[in-house]
Amino acid sequence: MIKTKANKTRTGGSEKVSFQAPRGMKDILPTEWPLWEKVFKIGKEVAEFYGFSRIETPILENTDLFIRGVGEATDIVEKEMYSLRTKGGDHFSLRPELTAPVVRSYIQNGMGRLPQPVRLYYMSPVFRHENPQAGRYRELHQFGLEVLGGESDPVYDAQVIIAAYRFFEELKLKNVIVQINSIGCRVCRPNYVRRLTDYYKNKKICKDCERRLKTNPLRLLDCKNEICQPLKAGAPSILNSLCVNCKAHFKGVLEYLDEVAIPYTLNPLLVRGLDYYSRTVFEVFPEGGDLAIAAGGRYDYLFEMLGGRPTPAVGMAAGIERAIEVGLAAGGLTVPKPRPRIFLVHVGDITKRKALVLIEDFRKSGIGVAESLGKDSLSAQLERAAKMEAPLALIFGQKEAFEDNIIIRDMTTGVQEAVPITMVVEEVKKRLKSA
Ligand SMILES: [Zn+2]
Ligand SMILES: [Zn+2]
């Protein structure tokens, strides 16, 4: 017997069960899909313009992939993964992000043999067991870009940021701003971490940070706890600790962004919660918002952590739910109108059969036909046609069917004309074109 958590209420002996979507997860309803498709299309166009090809990885991956690839001492792995054990004893997790899976796929499929860098994009659901709150879901969708392989050239960092920025621009988000920082490399970061640890050592910090000070000190800089907030201002800046190479790399990224006038601000407190980042890290914010709509960075060490050869890479992921919310609130993003379809009205059983055949003829010529073949009342059908703003209605009555005719009714003017059924597709085409 499997235990369930559906709500049960007893009503007069019979048990009624009502199911809800899991907390923090939601349906994308038919009324919402046109907007989602529009956003997906914009993402696809931007990604493909900049030379990215789509990839999709399994929703489940080996839990170890995320422990190694995201880092044990991160909120994602510590608290937010949906993990399960299969009957065969394997430990799997619903992916909380796609960078580690994409790198896994690159290594597994030998993409290192392709011309470098390999540019991949995705538009995929990820799962995080966070506390649900405004703009945050436990199942969310990410639009992501990854540039894998090649050199650790700052131009790739800039290109990822430019593409992310263009994505939001196409969604009509206004005054989007990029916050950017460099967190150095294996050479210079240890010095900075030492300085940071020294700074925090004898200060009063929250419980989480006491632990982070040992496991992942950089993360003290993005602690939201009010005990820790005021301490950030006095913390040493990582920008003063960068080695010559990291400094040059960061300068390169900023210069490329200046070149195409992408607005950014330096934020030396920005470190990102994930272990695998090196050098460039960035977050993208909507106007007046303090929740990031995209985030990313360089991750030159991730390949080695996942058993691959050292391979430089940089990428970003944008939250689609949040981008849609911000876009709608800003007023620039609108729900697209459905493509107009003609409406086929039928009267009686014989016409219903002939109507089915006629619908197939329209399908072949790419004209969308709406109908309500299950309903027989003429007025109910015409009402539907008007409601869905069909430009034309075809009225198929008993008499017309007998004469192999059909009536074309212009729904705006109300003008009707009977045409031979063999001509109707052509006639409709003509009228839709001139409308
Ligand atoms: Zn460095
Ligand atoms: Zn703290």
Is the distance from CB of 404 to CB of 385 less than 8 angstroms? no
Task: Please report the pLDDT score of residue 8 as a whole number.
Answer: 57
Question: Which CATH number covers residue 262?
Answer: 3.30.930.10
Q: Looking at the domain assignment, is residue 195 inside a domain? A: no
Question: Which CATH number covers residue 410?
Answer: 3.40.50.800
Mean pLDDT estimate for the chain: 91
Strands 53-54 and 118-127: parallel
- Give me ligand 2 centre to Cα 295, in Å: 21
Name residue 140's beta-bridge partners.
126
Q: Looking at the domain assignment, is residue 15 inside a domain? A: no
Whether residue 264 is found in the same domain as residue 351 = no
Among 106, 107, 102, 116, which Cα is nearest to 70's?
102
- Give me ligand 2 centre to Cα 290, in Å: 19
Domain boundary among 296, 330, 364: 330
Whether residue 352 is found in the same domain as residue 263 = no
- Give me ligand 1 centre to Cα 292, in Å: 26
All residues at 6 or more sequence positions from 239 whose CB lies less than 8 Å from its CB, including other chains: 181, 182, 250, 266, 268
Domain boundary among 273, 308, 330: 330
Among 227, 308, 313, 235, which Cα is nearest to 269's?
235
Residue 374 pLDDT level (bands cut at 50, 70, 90)? confident
All residues at 6 or more sequence positions from 140 whose CB lies less than 8 Å from its CB, including other chains: 125, 126, 128, 319, 320, 321, 322
Is the distance from CB of 100 to CB of 308 less than 8 angstroms? no
Q: Looking at the domain assignment, is residue 13 inside a domain? A: no
pLDDT above 80 (res 10): no
Task: Please report the pLDDT score of residue 195 as a whole number.
Answer: 94
What is the rounded distance in angstroms from the CA atom of residue 281 to the CA atom of residue 272?
A: 7
Residue 426 pLDDT level (bands cut at 50, 70, 90)? very high
- Give me ligand 2 centre to Cα 342, in Å: 61
Q: Looking at the domain assignment, is residue 38 inside a domain? A: yes
Whether residue 312 is found in the same domain as residue 384 = no
- Give me ligand 2 centre to Cα 64, in Å: 27
Domain boundary among 330, 361, 390: 330
Residue 73 pLDDT level (bands cut at 50, 70, 90)? low
What is the rounded distance in angstroms from the CA atom of residue 290 to the CA atom of residue 252?
A: 27
425, 426, 430, 432 alpha-carbon torsion, rounded to 10°? 20
- Residue 255: give the domain boundaries: 33-188+242-330
Q: Could you read off the pLDDT of 82-97 as tens digits, one per residue?
A: 999 999 999 999 999 9
pLDDT above 90 (res 134): no
Whether residue 138 is found in the same domain as residue 283 = yes
Among 100, 82, 102, 90, which Cα is nearest to 62's?
90
Least confident stretch, 8-17, 59-68, 387-396: 8-17
- Give me ligand 2 centre to Cα 213, in Å: 9
- Give me ligand 1 centre to Cα 248, in Å: 9
Total domains present in the chain: 2
In the structure, ligand 2 is a single-atom ion and the residues with CB under 5 Å from it are 206, 209, 223, 225, 228
Whether residue 346 is found in the same domain as residue 323 = no
What is the rounded distance in angstroms from the CA atom of residue 412 to the CA atom of residue 419?
A: 19
Whether residue 308 is found in the same domain as residue 394 = no
- Give me ligand 2 centre to Cα 192, in Å: 18
Q: Looking at the domain assignment, is residue 24 inside a domain? A: no
What is the rounded distance in angstroms from the CA atom of residue 409 to the CA atom of residue 387?
A: 15
Q: Read off the pLDDT of each residue in 346-367 and give the average, rounded to a whole number.
A: 90
Q: Looking at the domain assignment, is residue 196 inside a domain? A: no
Q: Could you read off the pLDDT of 136-173 as tens digits, one per residue?
A: 799 999 999 999 999 899 999 999 999 999 999 999 99
Is the distance from CB of 254 to CB of 264 less than 8 angstroms? yes
In the structure, ligand 1 is a single-atom ion and the residues with CB under 5 Å from it are 184-185, 187-188, 243, 246
Whether residue 410 is found in the same domain as residue 262 = no
Q: Looking at the domain assignment, is residue 62 inside a domain? A: yes
What is the rounded distance in angstroms from the CA atom of residue 295 to the CA atom of residue 76?
A: 15
Assign 3-class secondary structure to the chain.
Answer: CCCCCCEEEEECCEEEEECCCCCCCCCCCCCCHHHHHHHHHHHHHHHHHCCCEECCCCCEEEHHHHHHHCCCCCHHHHHCCCEEECCCCCEEEECCCCHHHHHHHHHHCCHHHCCCCEEEEEEEEEECCCCCECCECCEEEEEEEEEECCCCCHHHHHHHHHHHHHHHHHCCCCCCEEEEEECCCCCCHHHHHHHHHHHHCCCCCCHHHHHHHHHCHHHHHHCCCCCCHHHHHHCCCHHHCCCHHHHHHHHHHHHHHHHCCCCEEECCCCCCCCCCCEEEEEEEECCCCCCCCEEEEECCCHHHHCCCCCCCEEEEEEEHHHHHHHHHHHCCCCCCCCCCCEEEEECCHHHHHHHHHHHHHHHHCCCCEEECCCCCCHHHHHHHHHHCCCCEEEEECHHHHHCCEEEEEECCCCCEEEEEHHHHHHHHHHHHHHC
Whether residue 57 is found in the same domain as residue 181 = yes
Whether residue 86 is found in the same domain as residue 124 = yes
Q: Which ligand is nearest to the CA of 186?
A: 1
- Give me ligand 1 centre to Cα 255, in Å: 18
Is the distance from CB of 176 to CB of 170 less than 8 angstroms? no
Whether residue 59 is found in the same domain as residue 167 = yes
Whether residue 271 is found in the same domain as residue 363 = no
Q: Could you read off the pLDDT of 182-214 as tens digits, one per residue?
A: 999 999 999 999 999 999 998 999 998 998 898
Q: Could you read off the pLDDT of 92-132 as tens digits, one per residue?
A: 999 999 999 999 999 999 999 999 999 999 999 999 998 87
Q: Could you read off the pLDDT of 15-47 as tens digits, one per residue?
A: 788 999 999 999 999 999 999 999 999 999 999
What is the rounded distance in angstroms from the CA atom of residue 81 to the CA atom of residue 356?
A: 50
Whether residue 144 is found in the same domain as residue 291 = yes
Q: Looking at the domain assignment, is residue 161 inside a domain? A: yes
